[in-house]
Amino acid sequence: MLSELGLRDADELFTDIPKKVRIGRLGVGAGRDEIDVIRTVDKLLDRNKPYSKFSQFLGGRITTPFSPAALDAVVSRSEFYTSYTPYQPEASQGMLQSLFEFQSLWVELTGLDAANASLYDGATASGEALLLCRRIHEGHRFLIPASLPWEEKSVLANYAAGHAIRIEEIPFDARTSRLDLEWVRSAVRQGDVFGALVDLPNGFGHLDEGLPIVKEALGSVPLVVAADPLVLSVVEPPGAWGADIVVGEGQGFGLAPSFGGPLLGLFACRRDHLRMSPGRIVGATRDQEGRRAFTLTLQTREQHIRRSRATSNICTNESLLALGFVVYASLVGPHGLAQLQARLAEKARTLATALGEIKGLMAPRFDAPYLASFALGLRSGTPGRFLDLLRRRRVLGGYPLADPRPGAPTAEPLLLTSVNEATDEKDIQRFVRSARAAVATMTERP
């Protein structure tokens, strides 16, 4: 190849790079063959203790779902996972049709008009929703629950940072965790509110019974609902109670948490707002022979066409996880999803009831409905100490909800505790036994 270019050495291909910016050694070590790579990486990974080795109660926005074997069989098809963004529709009908099915499923779960083909994760989907509200409605104030997880507050603050937006926190009732709708009404009356976000379940894992009337308090101000897709299999779709945008984290549909990424951002909105909405969208059409076909559409909203006037900068999304999401729902089926949610609710109730009998614990901390997760309160000791004591007995009892950044405002010490599909009676018993012992230890030696 070099000789055909009239060159003697590949270095001659780099004469356009000035000497002044050349570098010497990288210092990244020598390459390894496959057997050595596997040995090295496995040695590293073996220092992890996967949650399946414990009686574990981790959940929340990111969960620990069971994944049917058929799911990985489909997403491991290399025609899917090694493919590029389907900008050439004729070569990409498989992915495009799958994404169309995915969009249809999220439309069905949310009760809204249209969904996009995915965003990065639930938190960034909320950020994009905030920016869409800003395009829909005048104003500078955006309302979020004070109970929203600190990570999501931080992501929202970053999405708002460049746009003269003030994020204000809706207070909640200390007994029930319900949002103060009177406060919302008054905020809207004061004016300058361009949108509000509420979450289902909320940051404490509880369901706010007041959500179906939030939209009444907002009037024409757009409402964003951040919803768990499994919860939507048993709860009335937010579109039916006035939501304008519904976002969510889709990882819980059979997708491995993988230490928190990749995740799956879900996004649906009303038809009126589609042209201002972010992300890729798949539409149905025909080919030149009149056959049904699928293609990316409304691309004039996107960065590769509209550049600085695009509705978002997003390019790469989470297509492969969107495929996994729709495959999971199709394997489990609509009935199966609702039954799964019912089983989780039953386990969570059993766990909370048993923990609630331990003096020193508030389980659940709030007097409010819950499904798979609830907030666990401690009357003494710290969540960190409590979790350490549990871990010694091979129990991962959840995680602290507080913002870990130094200088963060102090909040009531709470844990988020969740059940999952693998949780069995023995796990629950072990948690309860260990919690009782932990509380005793903390009381004796605080």
Partner 1 sequence: MTFRQARWDEPLIWELGSAVGETPPPSIPTLPDRLRRKRPVRWPELSELEVVRHYTRLSQMNFGIDTSAYPLGSCTMKYNPKVSELLARRRTAAELHPNQPVETVQGALEMIWRLEKALGKITGFPEVSLQPAAGAHGEFAALLMVRAYFRDRGELEGRTEVLLPDTAHGTNPASAMMAGFQAKEIASKEGCIDLDALRGAVGPKTAAFMLTNPNTAGLFESQIVEIAETVHAAGGLLYYDGANLNAILGVTNPGRMGFDVAHLNLHKTFATPHGGGGPGAGVLAAGERLAPYLPVPRVAKRGRAFALDYDRPKSIGKIKAAYGNFGLDLRAYVFLLSHGEEGLKAVARRSVLNANYLGKRLGRFLPRPFRTLVKHEFLLSGAPLKAKGVRTLDLAKRLLDEGYHAPTVYFPSLVEESLMFEFPETESKRELDEFALAFERAVTDTPEHLHAAPRSLAVGRVDEVLAARELLLSWKDLRGRPETFEAAAPVGSGP
Q: Which of residues 282-311 bind partner 1 (CB under 8 A)?
A: 282-289, 291-298, 302-310
Could you tell me which stretch among 135-143, 154-162, 172-180, 182-190 binds partner 1 (CB under 8 A)?
154-162
Select from 152, 166, 158 the least CA-distant residue to 198: 152
User: 45, 220, 410, 446: which one contacts partner 1 (CB under 8 A)?
Assistant: 45
For residue 358, state whether it binds partner 1 (rule: CB under 8 A): no
Cα four-point dihedral sign 328, 332, 338, 340: negative
Contact with partner 1 (CB under 8 A) among 147, 202, 317, 423: 317
Q: Which amino acid is at 90?
A: E
Cβ-proximal residues to 392 (8 Å cutoff; 6+ apart), any chain: none
Strand ranges across the sheet with 399-400: 361-362, 373-378, 414-418, 399-400
155-184 residues near partner 1, rule: CB under 8 A: 155, 157-159, 161-163
Q: Is residue 242 involved in binding partner 1 (CB under 8 A)?
A: no
Q: Which of residues 120-139 bind partner 1 (CB under 8 A)?
A: 120-124, 131
User: Among candidates 143, 149, 63, 109, which has minimal Cα distance to 240?
Assistant: 109
Does 98 contact partner 1 by CB under 8 A?
Answer: yes
Q: Which is nearer to partner 1, 187 or 341 (CB)?
A: 341
Q: Which is nearer to partner 1, 120 or 172 (CB)?
A: 120
Decide if residue 369 touches partner 1 (CB under 8 A): yes
C-beta of 103 vs 187, nearer to partner 1: 103
Q: Does 146 bind partner 1 (CB under 8 A)?
A: no
Selected binder of partner 1 within 8, 190, 220, 405 (CB under 8 A)? 405
Report which of 177, 151, 110, 155 is spatially closest to residue 373, judged by C-alpha positions: 177
Using CB under 8 A as the binding rule, whether residue 315 contacts partner 1 is answered as yes
Among 130, 184, 281, 414, binds partner 1 (CB under 8 A): 281
- Minimal distance in Å, beta carbon 127 to partner 1? 9
Q: How large is the C-alpha radius of gyration of the chain?
A: 25
110 binds partner 1 (CB under 8 A): no
Dist CA 243 CA 256 (whole Å): 29
- Exactly one of 74, 144, 247, 428 binds partner 1 (CB under 8 A); which one? 74
Annotate 365-378 with three-state secondary structure.
Answer: CCCCCECCEEEEEE
Q: Rule CB under 8 A: choose which of 167, 181, 358, 387 binds partner 1.
A: 387
Distance of CA 253 to the CA centre of its chain: 11
Closest CA to 417 of 358, 367, 375: 375
Q: Who contacts 422 (Cβ-Cβ below 8 Å, separation ≥6)?
A: 52, 64, 66
- Least separation in angstroms between CB 197 and partner 1: 15
Residue with structure tokens 């495929």? 323
Told to check if 235 binds partner 1 by CB under 8 A, we report yes
The token pair at 398 is 């959840």
**Binding test (CB under 8 A) with partner 1, winner from 136, 141, 270, 388:** 388
Q: What's the min distance (Å) between Cβ of 189 and partner 1?
A: 26
Please report the DSSP string for 125-154 in residue order: HHHHHHHHHHHHS--SEEEEETTS-HHHHH
Binding to partner 1 (CB under 8 A): which residues in 201-220? 207, 209, 211-212
Q: Which stretch binds partner 1 (CB under 8 A): 31-39, 134-142, 186-194, 428-436?
A: 31-39
Residue with tokens 């009892």: 397
Structural contact between residues 56 and 64, judged by C-beta atoms closer than 8 angstroms: yes
350 lies in the site for partner 1, by CB under 8 A: no
338 touches partner 1 (CB under 8 A): yes
**Residue 411 binding partner 1, by CB under 8 A:** no
Piece of 94-102, 177-185, 190-198, 436-444 that binds partner 1 (CB under 8 A): 94-102
What's the CA gap between 395 and 224, in Å, rounded? 36
Identify which of residues 59 and 222 has a Cβ nearer to partner 1 in the complex: 59
Q: Single out the segment in contact with partner 1 by CB under 8 A; choices: 167-175, 179-187, 233-241, 431-439.
A: 233-241
Number of shown-chain residues binding partner 1 (CB under 8 A): 189
Q: Which two tokens stand for residue 236?
A: 């009335």
H-assigned helices in 77-121? 78-81, 93-110
> Is 423 a binder of partner 1 (CB under 8 A)?
no
Candidate segments 65-73, 137-145, 168-176, 215-223, binder of partner 1 by CB under 8 A: 65-73
Residue where the block lists tokens 């990111």: 62
Handedness of CA 177, 223, 101, 320 (dihedral sign): negative
Candidate list 82, 190, 220, 410; residue touching partner 1; CB under 8 A:
82
